[in-house]
Amino acid sequence: MSNQVLAHLEDLVNALNISLFTNKTYFSQSEIQQQIDILEDIKEYINKSESEFATENITEEALLNDILNNPESLTPFAISYIPADLKDEISLTDTDKFEIEVINLINKAKDKRMSLNNLLVALKLTTGIAYSRSILNNRLYRMVKKDILFSVPGRKGLYTTNRDIQYESNKEESREVDLYNEEIN
């Protein structure tokens, strides 16, 4: 499995390097270089994980730390490393699993923001489930109402896990109004 992942990462790095040197991309050179660096770090981590992190004790210790640091709810990390004999005892609904997947995806995205379109594609790639736009939109709306996900103000169909985005947006709007008022005076 890890050999397949490493081969895929190598292909991605090569493709990014080609687009970097040929300038045949919509992304800036710094964005491409940043992605290459991230992929190289992932490759390095996978290589290390096969030798250094293979013991169960390290996984169990990380799981315990995660649970102790998040005592009210299980994180995506905790859920993925719960021992098999306990998984049947943990009560997770399909909605819980969906919400964890969405939050996990958005947290991995740049600036912890993701559009509805990108979520549709990312969920299909990660879960294999092709949600209809209206169903996904309804589920995201319910997540927003539960305050576990937030709409980016002024940006239709853009979601974030950053609670402070509301305050940042209000500050920006206040600055824009102040600048407008200065121009008028």
- Average pLDDT along the chain: 76
Instruction: Count structural domains, the chain.
Output: 3
What's residue 1's pLDDT?
Answer: 47
Residue 67 sits in the same domain as residue 105: no
Pairing of strands 113-115, 150-151: unpaired
Residue 137 sits in the same domain as residue 84: no
Residue 100 sits in the same domain as residue 156: yes
Q: Which of 21-30, 37-46, 150-159 has the highest mean pLDDT?
A: 150-159
What's residue 105's pLDDT?
Answer: 92
What's residue 140's pLDDT?
Answer: 94
Does some domain include residue 182?
Answer: no
Q: CB–CB of 141/135 below 8 Å? A: no
Question: Tens digits of per-residue pLDDT, 86-139?
Answer: 877 888 778 878 888 898 899 888 888 999 999 999 999 999 999 999 999 999
Of the candidates 105, 133, 108, the one whose C-alpha atom is nearest the C-alpha of residue 120 is 133
